[in-house]
C-alpha cells in the first residue's frame, strides 16, 4: 500500500509577530545580509532567523533577539560597495529598535497565515540558479559558491543544500550554460555565464 503523502498546511503566527518578522527581513535585505551572517553577527542561534522567515515554521523574535539584530545591522558597513565614505556621524542613518516593532497595536481575532515570498516557496536549487542566470547575476564576473548561496537566501528566503547547488552548477557548466573555472583549492570552482554559443567548460 502506497504511503499517503502528507498535505502541508501553512503555519500561523500572530499579526504583530508577522509584522516584526517582515520588518527584520526588509532591514536585512536592504543591507544585503544573509541569514547566516546576521545570526553570526548578532550572536543568535544558527538557523533561527531563517526559521523565523520560513512560512512553514512558527519561530518568532523576542525583544532580546531584536536588540541584538539592531546592533548587528548597525555595525554592518556597506559603504565599500558603493565607493562612498563610511557613513559615520550625522550622515549615517541607524536602525532603531522601534523600527522593527509595530507603531500601533495590531489587533486580529483571526490567525494570520505566515506567508513570505509565496511565489518561490517551493522553488528548488535548479530553478533558483536559473533565476539567478536570467536576472544577470552571472553576467558580470566569476562568482563562488558562497556568493551564490547568499543570493539564493536573499532572493528566495531560504537556503539550499550546498551539494545540491554545486551539483546543479556543474550540470549547467557541462551543458554550456555556465563557464566553470577551477581555483587553487581542491574541488573549488567559480562560475560565470557562458557568452559563446558552443558548450564550454574551463577547469
Confidence at residue 42, expressed as pLDDT on a 0 to 100 scale: 92
| End-to-end CA gap in the chain | 48
Closest by CA position to 18, among listed 99, 119, 100? 100
Domain range summary for the chain, segments of one domain joined by +:
15-78, 118-193
| 11 grid coordinates | 503555519
Give the mean pLDDT of the chain.
76
Confidence at residue 157, expressed as pLDDT on a 0 to 100 scale: 72
Q: Dmax of the chain from CA atoms?
A: 68
Query: In the predicted model, what is the mean pLDDT of residues 124-145?
Result: 84
Query: In the predicted model, what is the mean pLDDT of residues 111-116?
Result: 49
How would residue 117 be classed by pLDDT, with cut points 50, 70 and 90? Answer: very low
Closest by CA position to 125, among listed 81, 92, 158? 158
What is the full DSSP assignment across 118-177? Answer: GGGTT--HHHHHHHHHHTTTTTSS-EEHHHHHHHHHHHHSS---HHHHHHHHHHHHHTTS
How would residue 38 be classed by pLDDT, with cut points 50, 70 and 90? Answer: very high
Percent of the chain with pLDDT over 90: 11
Confidence at residue 69, expressed as pLDDT on a 0 to 100 scale: 94
Phi, psi of 91 (to 5 degrees): -80, -15
Q: How far apart are CA 49 and CA 59, in angstroms?
A: 8
Range from 14-18, 19-23, 36-40, 97-101 carrying the lowest mean pLDDT:
14-18
Phi, psi of 59 (to 5 degrees): -60, 145
Domain 15-78: top CATH class: mainly alpha
In the block, residue with C-alpha cell 502506497:
2
E strand or H helix at 20, and its extent? helix 15-30
In the block, residue with C-alpha cell 530553478:
127
- Residue 80 clears pLDDT 50, i.e. is over it: no
Q: Is 23 exposed, middle or buried (0-12, 13-18, 19+ CB in 10 A)?
A: middle
In the block, residue with C-alpha cell 500601533:
104
- Residue 201 clears pLDDT 50, i.e. is over it: no
Amino acid at each position: 500500500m502506497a504511503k499517503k503523502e502528507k498535505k502541508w498546511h501553512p503555519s500561523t503566527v500572530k499579526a504583530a509577530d508577522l509584522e516584526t518578522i517582515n520588518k527584520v527581513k526588509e532591514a536585512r535585505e536592504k543591507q544585503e545580509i544573509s541569514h547566516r551572517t546576521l545570526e553570526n553577527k548578532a550572536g543568535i542561534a544558527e538557523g533561527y532567523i531563517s526559521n523565523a522567515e520560513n512560512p512553514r515554521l512558527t519561530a518568532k523574535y523576542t525583544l532580546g533577539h531584536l536588540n541584538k539584530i539592531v546592533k548587528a545591522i548597525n555595525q554592518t558597513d556597506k559603504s565599500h560597495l558603493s565607493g562612498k565614505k563610511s557613513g559615520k556621524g550625522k550622515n549615517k542613518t541607524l536602525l532603531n529598535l522601534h523600527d522593527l516593532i509595530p507603531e500601533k497595536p495590531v489587533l486580529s481575532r483571526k490567525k494570520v497565515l505566515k506567508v513570505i515570498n509565496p511565489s518561490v516557496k517551493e522553488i528548488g536549487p535548479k530553478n533558483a540558479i536559473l533565476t539567478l542566470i536570467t536576472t544577470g547575476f552571472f553576467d558580470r564576473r566569476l562568482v563562488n559558491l558562497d556568493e551564490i548561496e547568499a543570493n539564493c537566501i536573499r532572493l528566495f528566503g531560504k537556503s539550499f543544500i550546498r551539494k545540491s547547488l554545486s551539483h546543479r552548477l556543474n550540470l549547467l557548466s557541462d551543458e554550456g550554460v555556465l563557464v566553470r573555472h577551477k581555483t587553487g583549492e581542491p574541488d573549488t570552482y567559480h562560475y560565470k555565464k557562458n557568452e559563446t554559443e558552443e558548450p564550454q567548460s574551463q577547469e
